[in-house]
Structure 1
Amino acid sequence: MTQPTLRGFFFTRPADAEAELAGAAESGAGSDGLGRPAIRGAVFAQIGEKAAGVLDRSYSEIFQEVWGRHDALRQSAANTRDRPGSEEIVEMTTYDVSYQDRPVIEVQIGELEPVPLEIEVVLRITVRGLIAVIRDARLVALRAGTADVSGTLSFAGTQVAAKQATLELPGTILLGRGVPLLGDKDPPTRTGTPGRHRDP
């Protein structure tokens, strides 16, 4: 099943993203260096396509990046790191977090100097009723909750979209090997140790 993405969050019709981002690039700072008038339409269409591709990140990917700031998750990660094979459940009744990303795409026409164009995504997220599963110092699963999200999208110095929405998170999001919460080091392994469950 396809997961919701930033493109779908900011644009009612995700297919419109490329055209709106191309328009923002055309009116934004730095656009004067993007070629002769005869080719600028094609250039901006390619820019819009490339910029829209940056927005194809899923909610799950974004949430994974911010969980490491949560004190209770980090504490459970430390607990399970010290008890290999154990598992802890953390109830996130209400949790406020921010997310900001500023990727830059470079556009070059022929022998002209590359022109950098910055995309800025800013999100304010309030998570309610989410349950996190921690095992071996990693976040391995998230269970149902909601997220109130407000965000802005800017490109080449021009605000393209502003949105507020309440997202219903899927019943369970499995995160594969899990998201390291205490760095990239794996905890020591211990054979024959049964899993332990704890609800703080």
Structure 2
Amino acid sequence: MSTPTTVGPVTVRDVLFDGRQVDPVSAIEDSLHRQGAVPALVGGAGRLTGAGGRAVEHEVAAVLDRLLALDLLDLAAGGWARHSALRAAARRTRDAPGSEEVVTMARHRISSSHRPGVELLVDGVPVGVLELALEVSFEVEALVAVVRRARLMSARTARCTVAGSLAAHGHVLAERRLHYDLPGAVRLRHGVRLLRS
């Protein structure tokens, strides 16, 4: 029997950019520049000088980078919180203090979509909204979950594949797919709440 490992936050940024010798803001900025998404939105290069356009691309990239701080566990937990078996175990452990349940889930997929927008202003005048799309999906081979006090306290899975993509105005800025082999059980610090009330 293995000892559970406590894991710190792993973010969408880690999926899209971890292990690369590049700053995420710079990579997003360069991709925005290559795609021409910002000048197209503000009516062409005539509305912004070269330096002005690059400054806007940098600010948009910084906004997108903050979006990438989303915690993967929070995204996965959002999907698990809708799973009927885990919700039922959460209700039972809430109603019976001190109890614990082990729930086994077969192969499953969790998807998370985010569609924020960044409004662009030139000289204080709105010129358009840059439409963003962040997609994250999890393919979990199997999950053995421990539920206590209506919280997911630890999880054991042999393998999980996480895929992420970031797009702006229909142009893909970054995408990546990672395979995680999770040895033993992963303890979730304070647990993940499975019920809203």
- TM-score for both structures, normalised by structure 2: 0.76
Consecutive aligned runs of 4 or more in structure 1 exceeding 4 Å deviation: none
Q: What SS does the aligned partner of 1:89 have?
A: strand
Asked if 1:32 is matched to 2:38, the reply is: no
- Structure 2 residues without counterparts, runs of 5 or longer: 1-6
Deviation at 1:77, TM superposition (A): 1.4
State the match for 2:4 in structure 1: none
2:48 maps to a residue whose letter is R
State the match for 2:26 in structure 1: 19
2:29 maps to a residue whose letter is A
- Structure 1 residues without counterparts, runs of 5 or longer: 186-200
Aligned residues of 2:141 and 2:157 also touching (Cα < 8 A)? no
Asked if 1:54 is matched to 2:61, the reply is: no
Deviation at 1:33, TM superposition (A): 7.8
| Correspondence for 2:14 among 8, 31, 36 | 8
Aligned residues of 1:147 and 1:166 also touching (Cα < 8 A)? yes
Which segment drifts farther, 154-163 or 114-123?
114-123
Aligned residues of 1:8 and 1:14 also touching (Cα < 8 A)? no
Residue-pair matches, total: 183
Which segment drifts farther, 165-174 or 54-63?
165-174
State the match for 2:186 in structure 1: 172
Asked if 1:45 is matched to 2:52, the reply is: no
Distance in 1, Cα, partners of 2:95 & 2:168: 45
Q: What SS does the aligned partner of 1:72 have?
A: helix
How is 1:24-173 mapped onto 2 (pairs within 5 angstroms)?
24-26=31-33, 27-28=36-37, 30-32=41-43, 36-37=48-49, 38-113=51-126, 115-169=128-182, 171-173=185-187
Root-mean-square deviation (CA, aligned residues, Å) is 2.8
2:187 maps to a residue whose letter is I
Distance in 2, Cα, partners of 1:144 & 1:173: 12
Which segment drifts farther, 14-23 or 53-62?
14-23
The alignment-based identity, stated in percent, is 30
